[in-house]
Structures are given as C-alpha cells and as structure tokens.
Structure 1
C-alpha cells in the first residue's frame, strides 16, 4: 500500500517537473508505531475530541505546509501546491506520512488518476478601441493560433450558442460573440470552433464578469474569453444595428494531462457498511500556496484524524484528500464515478470542508435541503445549525451550488453538506455585525493569490470550525440514529438545473 502510493507520487513529479523530492521515500511502519486496538479505547465522545483541538497544532501544520509549497518555486517562481507541481507532490507525501504515524488505526489507500491541467501565461482582448477590464480567459482554454494575436470582426451568435445552427456562416474566420445561458461554456466554444471561429467571447447575461471554465478539452475548442454584461452591452447594441465591431484576441496557454493522486484513510474499526465520509482538497491554484484554500480544510481533517485515534467508533470513518479540485473537482468526481453501486450505498453522508479560516470570515453553512438534495442533506445542515447555536455563535447560509467537492457525491445520490468561511464574496454590513471584520471586502482578500500564506488564516475561525468538524465526525461515528437511510443513487433534476458551478469556476 505504501509502496504503491510512493510510486504514484513519484510518477506525479516525473510527469510534470522531473524534480526529485528527497522525502518522497516514505518510511514503513515500525513495530513501536502499532496503535492500541480500537476495542480497548473509549467510545468516541464529541466534547472530548473537541477539547483536543489546538490552534498551536494547526498553526504548526500550516507552517509546515507553507515550507512544502516552496518546493514549487523552481518551476513557478513562487510557492504553490497546484497539481503536477513539486509542492503538491510534497503535500501528498506529508499527508501520507502523518497518517502512517497513526499506526494501524487507519487503512490508507490511494487512487491515481489522469487529470487535465491548464496554464494561461498571457492574454489580451481589444474590442474596437477599448481594452475591456473584465475580459478573462476561460479555464482550460487553448491558445490562439500559433500563440499569436488573431484579428477579426465580432459576429453575434443567435440564442445562447448551444446549437450548431445558432452560428451564422460569417462566423468562420471571425470572433464569435456568445451569450451566457443554459449550456456549458465548453459547448459554446466547441460549437464556435466547429463553425470556423478563430476565437470566442462569452458575455454575461448579468452585469458581472464571467469566471468560467471550458471543462473537458475538445479538439474543437477555440481560445475563449469571458466578458461582463456591463462591457458587453454597448458592443451588442452596435452589432444589432449591423455596425462593424472588430477585435483582437490573444491567449498564450497550455492544456495538458498529468497524473495525480487522491488519498483515502478509513478506520479499521467501526461498521464498514455505514461509513461517515468527509473530505478536503489537497491542491492549490498555481498563483499561490493555498494555505487557507484549502490548506486549512486539509489540515483540519488531518488533525481530527489524529485525535480520533484516541477513541473507538461504531461506524467507520473515511477521510479523503482530493487532488485537482481547483481544476474542476477532478479528484472527487473521479472517486465517485468509479465507485461500484454497493460501495456507493455504504456511504451514509459526505461532509465537505473547504476554506476553514478566511481572515474576514463568516461562519457559513451550505443550505442543503432534502427538497433538492439527497435525503439526509438537511439533517446534516441542521447538525451544524445546532452546534453554532449551542456555542452561541452566529451563522449564515450560502448556496449549495457545486463550488466544491460535495458536487459529485450529491449528483450520485449521496447526502452531503458542509461549512466554509468565505472566498471572494463580499461581506455585508449585517455580517460585519454578526462576525466582525470589514463589510465591503472579500471574506478572503487573498483568495487564489500569492498572499494566501500562513498569515492569511484567521486562527479563531479555524479552531472553531475544526471543533465543529470533530463534532460532526463524533456524532455520526457514534450513531446514525434519526438519520435517513440511503435509498437511491439518483439525484433530483432540480439540483442539476440549479447548479451553475463545477468547482471554483462557472461552467454554465
């Protein structure tokens, strides 16, 4: 088991940067590391495991993770733990070695899978005489031809560009101007490419910009930008008046496939037919070290997993560290998609913990209801509500909209939910009254940036939420009394229709 993971990690490094990481050679267990058998330990107790959570221990882990992120400097010129980097390989190794220290309390496994990774090195969009400030390359976009600027007229696409018939013949050799709508951005880009467009711009149907992804690469994808509704409006007006609008598009980008790894650890004790599952993502974006996003969640899981070894459990607990979340939930999607039906049914619920310590935090609960989500999601939501109430802490609800690794579980009928502390969203005046901080600023001003380092984590929020993670594990590891039984692996169409995100980027 250890040998296979080391091979996978080495392959990850070899496939991307060819760097050699000295501590990839993880030690095997020694005899003095064998844990006390779970049956000899007291039954899990929520209060006791919460009391074991320490801010000092979490901070030491964060400092270690930042040092690991520095392994990415040689290739990226700054610390990063993006998939395929030495920093991410080091992160996987650190998680694995920390789990090994816990002896035989856990069965540790890994899941290697191919992942798509994209980089945009430079981009520029000029429309007429203007350079739109909201223009942003789509995730996983290909480059413009020969990685050079391309020039052409904008051609307004009919409807929302979801059908090949929406593209007029004069889009060939031109730049397709497409309204955001009901189908994925990747479909629009592919249709534009098939119609002969040299590039595409997807403009928002609302004032804001579009931070989207094309998703699974297609040979027909063309270089694609997102554009805000505000900046698109005068362009649309001119095009509808049959006036000519020319543009220059330039993207220097690469899209490729790498090998990466999910790490999964399940208690050897507890009923394996009734599994409590929770996860966090092990990767960062390429722009920075990702100590809050999602180093905080990954390290919270690692600390709870460590403290859980002091107890026995009635139900098996399964911890997971997903790779490729920032590229579009790749690791969690792959994991759930490859689960046999009988294994799917064993997972009673999945809890997602992504960004636990944002500096301008709010205590956020995913508003997962049974009306739209698999039965049991609402009961999990209510567990979080009850805990915050017991602690006399304020909380707020946020959309359950596919932005993190719970999405694949929900789509495959597994109840889910989670908590967060906020990303690029704006804190309201009411939330300032509830949680402190500064209204009008992002919850995490360093979201997806180089400054997401150790100093970017609010330790108070991180400790509070790690205690809540411990409580969620303790509750269900002890009993599923009153929690709905699994019935189906089919999710309601309402969730699918309402979900516009697939990870941190919009895909529709």
Structure 2
C-alpha cells in the first residue's frame, strides 16, 4: 500500500455517495507530444511480464483484503469495505507514479451492497444446504421465523401462483421465467415470511435479488435434488413445518471506478480493457478478480516504456460482483461521441484458476457488434501460435463487457473458469482434475494467494499485453465503428454479473 493519506482521501471520495463525479475526457486542446519512446511492440511488452511480479502483487492485495476483517470477520474486498477502499488506493497510487503518461480519473457512483452474517433453513427436522441470495433482507428482527412450507404454482411470477395459505408460510418456488427479485417480491406481497427458490437444473443455486424492494423477504437458493423429496411430500398433502433465519444487511454505499488513459496516441481511436476491483463479501477475491485487476496494473506499469499510435484506456470497475454496476454506470455516462471513440472493449476476469482451462468468449459478429469476432480470433491465434489448446465459452453477459456490446462497442475476452465442471476431454487438453470446478474456491474464503495458478496467469497476462499492444499500434483490418446501437441480436441471459438473477 503506497500511501495512507491517499487511502483516506479515496475512502472519503467513495463515501460521498450523494455527489456524482462523471468521468471527464482528457484535454484534447494540448497537442499530442512527440514521444522519445519506441513504438509499442507486442513481443517486447510481453517480455516484461513475469510470474514473480504478479505473485508479489497478489500478496500485497491479500494484505489489503485483511482490512475488511474488522467489519466482515474475514478478508474481503467487497465494495464499501475497507478492503475495497484499500484496493482503490493501491491501484490509484501505483498509477499515479506514471501520471506523465496517463490521464487518471475517478468516477464515483451509488451502489447497493449486502452482507449475510448468518443463516439457517430447516424443513421438518432436516437442515438444508441452502445459500442466502445476495442482497436478501434479513428475517424480521434478524430472528428466526416459523411456518409451514407451501409449494407455489408455476414459477411464482404472478400473484395467482400463490395459494391462499401463503400468508405466514415459507414459499417454495421453482426457478424460471422471472427474476429472483420478482419472485421474492411476489412472495412478500402474498404474505410469505420467507422464500426458497429451487433450481430447475442439476446443481446448487445462488443468485442475487438485485434492486431492493420493501416487499422482498428473506430468500434462499436450493438445489433441485434437495428440493424434490419435499415437493413430493407437499404434493401428497403432507404438512412440513419450516424454520428460516437470515441475519443480513442491505445498504447504499458510494464506490469508485478508476480509469487511466494514455496521453499519447489517437484520442479518437481507443483500445479499452478492464477488470473489476471488487470481490464478493465472502472472501478476498485474489483470483476473482484480483488476477484481472493486477494483470492490467502490471501491464500499465510497463506500457509507459513505449509510445502508442492509438490511445489505450484501462479501467478498474467497482461493483461487478453486485451486478456489473461500475461498467454499467460508465457506459451510461458516455455521450454518443465518446462512445464512438472506443473501438473495442476487452474484459479480463479470472486469469489464474487453479484447475484452469484457456477459455475464450465465443463472440461472433452475427450476434454481437462487428469486430467482436476479430478480437476472438486474435486470442485463439495466440494460443495456437504457442501450441496451446483453448475452448470457447458462452458470451452471455456474465462480466463487464455486457454494457459495451449492448451499446454497439465490439467486445470479448479470456478467462480460466469459475464454478463450471472440468471434463475429461479438458483434462486431456489442459491437465488438472476432471469433475471439479475450474476454481474450487470461487466466491469463497479460500480464494487467496494460494488459489492462483501462476503458469496460467503469466501466459494469460502475456496474451493481454499482446491484445493491448496489437491495437495500440494499429486498427488496420479491424472493422470501423458505425454506430452506438448494435445491429446484432444480443441474447437475454440469466446473468447480469457473476450471480444468477433469474
């Protein structure tokens, strides 16, 4: 951590949530300076990347996450915490050492943050393995509530789905059709004292209620497998007494995006890359997304050795874990003219999963803004040139590229995997363990320094450097922007951020 004073100043900035400070574009009146540095070169920029330096930064970030212990009782960098304020200070103070090369901006906005301190769900005499939804309210008075378990018709999206005996009950609701927040609100309006949403696919279920409502009730996610025996009993007319308890808070906080843009290069043609600076409340988030944030920071410290033909804009988003809040806010504040200056956006989220696969977002031009596929092919060409395998993963709105592609900006990115299950075929391609998550510590307390695969991290950081250097040098052959609206069909998805919302 470079400066306690800057931590205090930045913490104060984030705390003043009533004052919006939109990003100011660089001063274009001053002539672009003639740089003594050589032009950026991909191979030379990659040569500065070493796993030891990345590991050193990861250890520093974990120390910063420990600033969250006092409030959260464990290390965390969730927005609104001292751990996140310390992260912002570390990013800002490091970038400030290169203020002759970058214009550095803070962009503060309001956000909603939640924390669950404890929970329990019991059906009959069995304690359930249920996960409280993100941004769930507590049970009344943060005390346990008791009532019969009641099965809701259909997907619980319509008031008519709730039977007359919903009042005073714990509602059991099937996932689907509408958002988790809409289900919680409908249950609350019908008189339920708590809600449990069960999955309609194999596996556990966690998600977010998103924007708070006064009608939301304490809400859990439950696997389909755990729910089925109780559904059958309810359908057979059995009465199942239930117990629900959640101790949580949901509050408003101010938080901050950090943007660094090169002073040099064509300011009307910018290559942009971003990662998110926050973690979930449950852990320190060193892989998710400390690795993405630190990848960009490490590259940002070496790029000043070179001049660029096109401007480079780097972003560290806040509030990604709460639903892509920072990137959504950023794009919403762009004028049409500023939007058009961004030739493409590259998203870097989770670069070093321990059971990794080299994953490339399957961004195709027919479904996304023109240029997304060219970016996808740059990544795959890099892996191929290095004799490495790769896989395509859905481009489904799960990370900070979402707002960009919805506003006509080509996008893409790479990752190494989250809670998905690694297959035997992928073990043959990448090594690792079949049947386990790519990141077994995803969104957990164990996402610490030991959770990072340094081989994958160094290789992917070199690829990120290659992607930035390539477009900082030239956009030759890359499609020109034609408008701020995408002509392609960006599909709706059950994600807005890493948590399911429906």
For normalisation by structure 1, the TM-score amounts to: 0.91
Distance 2:460 2:218 in 1: 41
Give CA-to-partner distance per residue, 1:33-69, whole Å, 9 cap, x none. xxx9553222221111111212222222222222222
Shift of 1:441: 2.2
Distance 1:70 1:104 in 2: 32
1:40 aligns with 2:36: yes
- Equivalent residue in structure 1 for 2:83, among 73, 77, 87: 87
Partner residue, 2:470: 475
1:416 aligns with 2:418: no
Partner residue, 1:23: none
1:111 aligns with 2:107: yes
Shift of 1:373: 1.8
Give CA-to-partner distance per residue, 1:379-416, whole Å, 9 cap, x none. 11111000101111111111222221112222222211
Partner residue, 2:255: 260
The alignment's C-alpha RMSD in Å is 2.2
Partner residue, 2:24: none
Partner residue, 2:23: none
Q: Is the 8 A contact 2:10 2:89 kept in 1?
A: no
Distance 2:165 2:480 in 1: 56
Partner residue, 1:507: 501
Distance 2:357 2:181 in 1: 33
Distance 2:324 2:7 in 1: 21
Q: Structure 1 stretch 406-415 or stretch 473-482: which is displaced more?
A: 406-415
Partner residue, 1:381: 376
Distance 2:75 2:173 in 1: 37
Give CA-to-partner distance per residue, 1:56-103, whole Å, 9 cap, x none. 222222222222222222223332222112121111111111111113
Partner residue, 1:25: none
Partner residue, 1:10: 12
Report the secondary structure of 1:192's partner residue: helix
Distance 1:103 1:413 in 2: 31
Shift of 1:211: 1.0
Distance 2:495 2:50 in 1: 34
Q: Aligned in 2, Cα 1:117/1:492: closer, same or farther, shift over 3 Å?
A: farther
- Equivalent residue in structure 1 for 2:420, among 425, 429, 442: 425
Report the secondary structure of 2:334's partner residue: coil
Partner residue, 2:328: 333
Q: Is the 8 A contact 2:37 2:306 kept in 1?
A: yes
Partner residue, 1:178: 173
Report the secondary structure of 1:230's partner residue: helix
Q: Is the 8 A contact 1:350 1:414 kept in 2?
A: yes
1:125 aligns with 2:124: no
Distance 1:350 1:309 in 2: 20
Q: Structure 1 stretch 105-114 or stretch 148-157: which is displaced more?
A: 148-157
Q: How does 1:92-491 map to 2 (within 5 A)?
A: 92-133=88-129, 135-491=130-486
Distance 1:168 1:496 in 2: 34
Partner residue, 2:74: 78
Give CA-to-partner distance per residue, 1:284-313, whole Å, 9 cap, x none. 222322221111111110111111111111
Shift of 1:491: 4.4
Distance 2:237 2:406 in 1: 44
Q: Structure 1 stretch 213-222 or stretch 419-428: which is displaced more?
A: 419-428
Give CA-to-partner distance per residue, 1:119-169, whole Å, 9 cap, x none. 111111112232222x11111000111111112223322222222333333
Distance 1:487 1:14 in 2: 38
Partner residue, 2:25: none
Distance 2:13 2:35 in 1: 38
Shift of 1:448: 2.1
Q: Structure 1 stretch 173-182 or stretch 299-308: which is displaced more?
A: 173-182
Partner residue, 1:27: none
Runs of 5+ unmatched residues, structure 1: 16-35
Distance 2:185 2:378 in 1: 44
Report the secondary structure of 2:490's partner residue: helix
Q: Is the 8 A contact 2:396 2:491 kept in 1?
A: no
Shift of 1:105: 0.8
Q: Structure 1 stretch 366-375 or stretch 311-320: which is displaced more?
A: 366-375
Q: Is the 8 A contact 1:164 1:195 kept in 2?
A: yes
Distance 1:114 1:103 in 2: 27
Distance 2:446 2:137 in 1: 28
